[in-house]
Amino acid sequence: MIIELGHFALILALVLACVQTVVPLVGASRNWPGAMAAGGPAANGQFLCLAFAFAALTYGFVTSDFSLRLVTANSHTDKPLIYKITGVWGNHEGSMLLWCVILALYAAMAAVFGGNLRPSLRARVIGVQGAISVAFLSFLVFTSNPFSRLATPPMNGQDLNPLLQDPGLAFHPPFLYLGYVGLSMAFSFAVAALIEGRVDAAWGRWVRPWTLAAWLFLTVGIALGSWWAYYELGWGGFWFWDPVENASFMPWLISAALLHSAIVVEKREALKSWTILLAILAFGFSLIGAFIVRSGVLTSVHAFANDPERGVYLLMITGLFMGGALTLYAARAAVLEAKGVFALASREAALVANNVLLAVSAFVVFVGTVWPLVAEMAFDRKLSVGAPFFDAAFTPFMVALAMLLPLGSLMPWKRARMDRVMAPLWGALALSVALGALVWVLQTGGSMLAPIGAVLAAWVGLGVVADLWQRAGKGRDLSAKLRRLKGLPRADWGKSVAHAGFGVTLFGICALTAWQVEDIRVADVGDTYDVAGYTIALDEVRGGRGPNYQTTMASIEVSRGDRTIATLQPEKRFYPVAQMPTTEAAIDNGILRDIYVVIGDPQEDGGWAVRTYIKPFANWIWAGCIIMALGGCLSLSDRRHRVAAGAARAPAAGVPAE
Amino acid sequence: MKRLVVLVWLALMPPLPALAVQPDEVLENPALEARARELSKGLRCLVCRNENIDESNADLARDLRIAVRERLVAGDSDEEVIDYLVTRYGEYVLLKPTFRGANLVLWLAGPVMVLGGGLIAVSYLRRRRPEDAAPPEALSPEEQARLDALMGDNRRL
């Protein structure tokens, strides 16, 4: 019964989405206040319906209702409860439902918090958001209905893919979707502004928090995915330039660009049409990402719903929204006239450079991702584009970005003088070059990657410090400086923290890539050997049983000198229902290094294949991502986003004359 | 005894795929092995999804890894090893596409886009320079009247 109600709520949500699209848009063009105001309740209603549908599907999973086709295909009674719940979005239909829930959530939030928007703009934003909901809900209802039943329910299910039964991956999709779908808000704002033909500072201020939220969720989602790949796949890589990873990385890059260009719109009323274009493209890349993941046109380790028919539908959605928005853009962009003037050396110009680098790097990733497809269709060449290409073609952009970052963040608006910008930075530059030289001397030979990474990371990090130090004002009074720092707007703190996080991630990637030590060998139980100064002892290998798997677990003691560092228990698991093995690496996490051990196969002439990795600074990669996301949170909590919410209402209440 | 239990346990379990590079594949000569690892990272496991042969668990990847090592032991240069594999498996085996033919588009896309984007950006920035920008428009009569009214209000306060 609950399932049927959920199914009904899903269909009702589609109907409400149609209302949410048509009524406010027509109302806004005819200037009917009642019709414009109808968008809000429709959006809220649609969200409530979808939330109920989602709860109903979750109920089906938790109670193992195997009459649901989806539950049979992706669940099992022995599965731990947490993975029964996360199994809801561990498949195509359920994840698409989650996508729609989040889409409706954003529309409802725009309806609830959008009180200070112009009524026509608010109606159009909600209307465009509704149109996206219509497209995805009809996709869900007509091609991939999560509520379809089986005529004869089996006794038990086929279990969730064991690789997905993991905390890191369980929460990776919801964050990613909050990010992907969050970009739909930027898109709706852009299209609404194009229809209105008006983009001003207020628009920039409005679109920024949504973009920021989407970007920070994407950051967390990508970091979770990468961290999962690191500890779960068993060889300690953290990024594979897989098409599906690229699908999440492209919107991240574009939204990072959008984040920066929206500042220029807000503060200086320039770069308007470029910002609109970025907002359209950012969501466009989200849609392309959904297409890549779900159509299976590009072979990927992730593809989990390879169905050409669904792919065609998603391609149609992408084409429709991108075609429509870009046509509108071509017709209306000229109306958006820029106001601010600025010199070639100015923060505006630095942000333009940031945008060129981020946007082009996103397009490089895009070209690399689709090239195998293009080459096969256009030139009849079957070829691969893998990590070596992306490392070579993408890295220079990040290097240039890191080089420019401290300069740009210290530049004043309108006109900068390079000598004044550099004045507080000379120290940072000297220190970071010295650090790079030190690293180069210490490692004696080896790749240049580590020294370059150290220089760039230190330059970015010390640049942040120099920026804050300068903002604290002149003078020697430390307490006054601290007071002034405390009084800085949260957005400024957010900027500093996020930039520092970028530096940390940069350093982690370079250090790990340059200094990783690997050891592969056959070890008998009782063997002891050294890897990079650590003593590894294989103490025991035993069999065992988990709730829904069998395991072979080794016990490995890691020590340095006389001191025992950790006893690690790497596992090999086998999930009988899914007929799938997984590797559970055991990791001793540290700030300076991870010790990462994997147990392999028993060898014919006795002993076990054991792999040991010493991974320096591995955790810095994800720590940096978390710091970046924290910076985003700080910036989101800035006063002006809240003040702006009250500012528009205040005049209506009348300003008392003093 | 414990060992026996484990062995029996394993015998009952279905066979597991091997993990990437196996100890028995590793070459004695560390220089050759390092070259083999480096080459392996650029070669695709043909039956896998976007994995290189160094990381893949597939049997074919193992065969390819061994083939690479055999060629290296036989004295081939890195290029000869790559050519050997490309003639057998096509350029699909290369994770780093060649610079030949249409692939130039792929490789030049980044530099060309940066140049183009940079040129557009610079021309935009030049137009926005204070000295080149149009002077601010004069106020229209209505705006002037409104301004006067507001200023008048202020003076009265």
Task: Answer yes or no: do B102 and A601 touch at CB < 8 A.
Answer: no
pLDDT at position A521, please? 87
- Could you tell me if B73 and B36 are in contact, meaning their C-beta atoms sit under 8 angstroms apart? no
pLDDT grade, residue A642 (50/70/90)? low
Q: Assess whether B27 and B59 both reside in one domain.
A: yes
> Dihedral sign, CA of B138, B144, B150, B154?
positive
CB-based contact (8 Å) between B7 and chain A? yes
Q: Which residues of B, range 119-148, sit inside 8 Å of A by Cβ?
A: 121-122, 124-126, 128-130, 133
Those residues whose C-beta lies under 8 Å from the C-beta of residue A31, and which sit 6 or more positions away, are: A120
Q: Assess whether A398 and A360 both reside in one domain.
A: no
H helical segments located in A411-549:
418-422, 426-443, 449-471, 478-486, 490-515
CATH code of the domain in which B34 resides: 1.10.8.640
pLDDT at position B141, please? 82
Task: Answer yes or no: do A600 and B109 touch at CB < 8 A.
Answer: no
Q: Assess whether A410 and A429 both reside in one domain.
A: yes
Look at residue A4 and tell me if it is in a domain. yes
Q: How far is A643 from A650, CA to CA, in rounded Å? A: 10
Least CB–CB distance from B16: residue in A303, A383, A572 = A572
- Examine the fold and report which residue of A148, A165, A182 is the final residue of a domain before the chain moves on: A165
Least CB–CB distance from B117: residue in A237, A356, A550 = A356
In chain B, residues with a C-beta closer than 8 Å to the C-beta of A598 are: 19
Task: Answer yes or no: do A364 and B41 touch at CB < 8 A.
Answer: no
Look at residue B2 and tell me if it is in a domain. no
Look at residue A184 and tell me if it is in a domain. no
Task: Answer yes or no: do B97 and A384 touch at CB < 8 A.
Answer: yes
Sequential pLDDT tens for chain B (157 residues): 444 444 444 444 443 444 567 777 888 888 888 899 889 888 988 877 778 888 887 888 888 999 999 999 998 899 999 999 999 988 889 999 988 888 999 999 999 999 999 999 998 888 887 765 555 667 778 888 888 887 776 555 4
Chain B residue with minimum CA distance to A338: B128
pLDDT digits over A79-124, tens only? Answer: 889 999 998 998 889 999 999 999 999 999 999 988 788 899 999 9
Look at residue A397 and tell me if it is in a domain. yes
Q: Assess whether B122 and B82 both reside in one domain.
A: no
Burial annotation A183-204 (CB, 10 A radius, 16+ → b, else e): bbbbbbbbbbbbbbebbeebbb
- Examine the fold and report which residue of B93, B117, B146 is the final residue of a domain before the chain moves on: B93
Q: Assess whether A359 and A284 both reside in one domain.
A: yes
Q: Which of A143-157, A360-374, A437-451, A538-552 has the lowest mean pLDDT?
A: A437-451
Q: Does pLDDT of A296 surpass 80? A: no
Q: How far is A365 from A240, CA to CA, in rounded Å? A: 13
Please give, rounded to a whole number of angstroms, the shortest distance from the CA of A478 to a CA of chain B.
38
Look at residue B8 and tell me if it is in a domain. no
Q: Assess whether B18 and B88 both reside in one domain.
A: yes
In chain B, residues with a C-beta closer than 8 Å to the C-beta of A520 are: 21-23, 26
Task: Answer yes or no: do A363 and B41 touch at CB < 8 A.
Answer: no
Q: How far is A365 from A222, CA to CA, in rounded Å? A: 16
Chain A residue with minimum CA distance to B117: A356
Q: Assess whether B39 and B89 both reside in one domain.
A: yes
Question: Which of the pair, A266 or A361, is modelled with greater confidence?
Answer: A361
**Residue A557 buriedness (CB in 10 A; 0-12 / 13-18 / 19+):** middle
Q: Assess whether B84 and B142 both reside in one domain.
A: no
Q: Assess whether A161 and A205 both reside in one domain.
A: no
Could you list the beta-strand ranges (E) of A27-71. Answer: none
Q: Assess whether A323 and A408 both reside in one domain.
A: no
pLDDT at position A536, please? 93
Q: Assess whether A377 and A404 both reside in one domain.
A: no
pLDDT grade, residue A643 (50/70/90)? low
Q: Assess whether A145 and A238 both reside in one domain.
A: no
pLDDT at position A69, please? 92
Task: Answer yes or no: do A381 and B42 touch at CB < 8 A.
Answer: no
C-alpha B103 chain-centroid distance:
15
Q: Assess whether B85 and B57 both reside in one domain.
A: yes
Q: Assess whether B21 and B82 both reside in one domain.
A: yes
Q: Assess whether A329 and A248 both reside in one domain.
A: yes
pTM: 0.89
Look at residue A176 and tell me if it is in a domain. no
ipTM above 0.95, yes or no: no
Summary mean pLDDT of chain A: 89
Q: Assess whether A80 and A128 both reside in one domain.
A: yes
Q: Assess whether B36 and B61 both reside in one domain.
A: yes
Look at residue A22 and tell me if it is in a domain. yes
Q: Which of A167, A168, A177, A164 is nearest to A74 (CA)?
A: A164
Least CB–CB distance from A581: residue in B5, B17, B101 = B17
Q: Assess whether A26 and A10 both reside in one domain.
A: yes
- Examine the fold and report which residue of B93, B117, B142 is the final residue of a domain before the chain moves on: B93
Q: Assess whether A36 and A92 both reside in one domain.
A: yes
Look at residue B133 and tell me if it is in a domain. yes
Task: Answer yes or no: do A383 and B129 touch at CB < 8 A.
Answer: no
How many domains does the structure of chain B reveal? 2
Q: Which of A50, A74, A48, A47 is nearest to A62 (CA)?
A: A74
Least CB–CB distance from A522: residue in B23, B42, B50 = B23
Please give, rounded to a whole number of angstroms, the shortest distance from the CA of B21 to a CA of chain A.
8
Q: Which of A57-66, A218-227, A466-475, A640-649 has the lowest mean pLDDT?
A: A640-649
Q: Assess whether A19 and A99 both reside in one domain.
A: yes
Tokens found for residue A177: 């979707």
Look at residue A351 and tell me if it is in a domain. yes
Find where tokens 């959530």 sit. A105
Helix (H, G, I), strand (E, B) or coil at A20: helix
Look at residue A652 and tell me if it is in a domain. no
Q: Assess whether B83 and B30 both reside in one domain.
A: yes
* Average of per-residue pLDDT across A29-53: 94
Look at residue B98 and tell me if it is in a domain. no
Domain holding A256, by residue range, is: 197-386
Task: Answer yes or no: do B10 and A552 touch at CB < 8 A.
Answer: yes
User: How many Å is the Cα radius of gyration of chain A?
Assistant: 27
Look at residue A65 and tell me if it is in a domain. yes
Domain holding B67, by residue range, is: 14-93
Q: Assess whether B66 and B25 both reside in one domain.
A: yes
Q: Assess whether B116 and B149 both reside in one domain.
A: yes
How many domains does the structure of chain A reveal? 4
Look at residue B149 and tell me if it is in a domain. yes
